[in-house]
């Protein structure tokens, strides 16, 4: 367990989720405690951790805009799912850029009078991005349920194929449902920050705990899978990032093939598929 936790916090995603969990627990306790001194201390912890976590996503706009341009050149407008994904990536990219503009102000290095206005716009784009992401997950569930099952022709081969496809589809559905729950919880944060739907620190902090634990669970499982394969985080950074950030709903047969190879071959495959491996959404659960 200790070794697994060490691997978990060595990954950027795992460390960020650990800090996020401490932050939201501090927020809840600060709101519930009767000691004003403790409340001030915990609020300071919350604010400092929130600032520290901003550094993890400082260059997040690069991935978002890369994904956006990839969709524009591929199928961004050819389907409802593509348009929702395109809108989500665009809003996330704008959110990251606007938030980055206020980093020096948040650090207390260079105060600017427009910090509040820019952060309001950033949180607005964050709200839109999460909304598009939830809508995309719901659309994927509806589109998946609308697919017609394969016709039964009595052949043994088709029966085996159907048996293999069933657990994969169930896993994808479960991942989509989890995504909706996580991002639905996170939607409360920009709503609270913008004053559109004030819910209080206890409610926001509690939903943050839930979303953090759910996303950390996936990262923990993928780090454990890598551990079983003997893949060290510091030897294959690209694959570590891939397996700790790619949503379970997007896993395909290539993942099983990659995980069955030794890490040297996996690195070669990753170098040859750089755009494919990095073209995944890593923008969930930000604050």
- Closest CA relative to residue 14, chosen from 44, 53, 51: 53
Split into its structural domains, the chain has a count of 1
Query: Is 49 domain-assigned?
Result: no
Query: Is 176 domain-assigned?
Result: no
- Closest CA relative to residue 122, chosen from 95, 159, 144, 89: 95
Please write the tens of the pLDDT for every residue from 166-184: 566 678 899 999 999 999 9
Query: Is 226 domain-assigned?
Result: no
Please write the tens of the pLDDT for every residue from 177-215: 999 999 999 999 999 999 999 999 999 999 999 999 999
What confidence category does residue 270 fall into, taking pLDDT thresholds of 50, 70 and 90? very low
Distance (Å, whole) CA 3 – CA 17? 17
Query: Is 37 domain-assigned?
Result: no
Query: Is 92 domain-assigned?
Result: yes
Query: Is 67 domain-assigned?
Result: yes
Between 91 and 270, where is the model more confident? 91
Query: Is 106 domain-assigned?
Result: yes
Where in the sequence is the domain holding 115, given as residue range(s)?
A: 57-122
Distance (Å, whole) CA 121 – CA 127? 10
User: CB 201: neighbour CB atoms within 10 A?
Assistant: 17
Instruction: List, in sequence order, the alpha helices (H) in 147-286.
Output: 156-186, 188-194, 201-228, 237-245, 253-259, 263-272, 274-278
Tokens found for residue 186: 């996170």
Q: Give the predicted TM-score (pTM) of the model.
A: 0.75
- Closest CA relative to residue 248, chosen from 131, 149, 161, 167: 167
- Across the chain, mean pLDDT equals 80
In sequence order, what are the residues at sequence separation of 6 or more whose Cβ sits closer than 8 angstroms to the Cβ of residue 77? Answer: 83, 86
pLDDT at 235 over 90: no
Distance (Å, whole) CA 265 – CA 215? 29
In sequence order, what are the residues at sequence separation of 6 or more whose Cβ sits closer than 8 angstroms to the Cβ of residue 167? Answer: none
Query: Is 222 domain-assigned?
Result: no
């Amino acid at each position: 367990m200790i070794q697994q936790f060490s691997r978990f916090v060595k990954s950027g995603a795992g460390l960020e989720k650990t800090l996020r969990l401490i932050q939201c627990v501090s927020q809840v306790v600060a709101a519930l405690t009767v000691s004003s001194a403790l409340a001030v201390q915990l609020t300071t912890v919350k604010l400092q951790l929130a600032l520290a976590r901003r550094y993890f996503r400082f260059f997040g706009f690069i991935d978002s805009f890369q994904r956006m341009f990839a969709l524009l050149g591929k199928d961004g407008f050819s389907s409802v799912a593509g348009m929702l994904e395109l809108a989500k990536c665009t809003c996330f990219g704008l959110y990251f850029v606007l938030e980055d503009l206020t980093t020096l102000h948040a650090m207390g290095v260079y105060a600017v009078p427009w910090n509040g206005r820019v952060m309001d716009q950033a949180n607005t784009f964050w709200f839109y991005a999460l909304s598009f992401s939830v809508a995309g997950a719901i659309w994927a569930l509806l589109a998946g349920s609308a697919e017609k099952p394969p016709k039964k022709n009595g052949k043994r081969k088709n029966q085996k194929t159907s048996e293999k496809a069933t657990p994969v589809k169930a896993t994808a559905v479960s991942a989509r449902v989890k995504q909706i729950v996580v991002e639905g919880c996170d939607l409360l944060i920009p709503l609270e920050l913008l004053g559109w739907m004030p819910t209080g620190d206890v409610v926001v902090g509690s939903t943050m705990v839930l979303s953090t634990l759910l996303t950390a669970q996936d990262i923990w499982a993928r780090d454990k899978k890598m551990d079983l394969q003997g893949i060290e985080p510091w030897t294959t950074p690209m694959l570590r990032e891939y397996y700790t950030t790619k949503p379970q709903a997007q896993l395909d047969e290539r993942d099983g093939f990659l995980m069955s190879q030794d890490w040297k071959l996996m690195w070669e495959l990753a170098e040859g598929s750089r755009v494919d491996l990095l073209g995944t959404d890593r923008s969930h659960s930000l604050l």
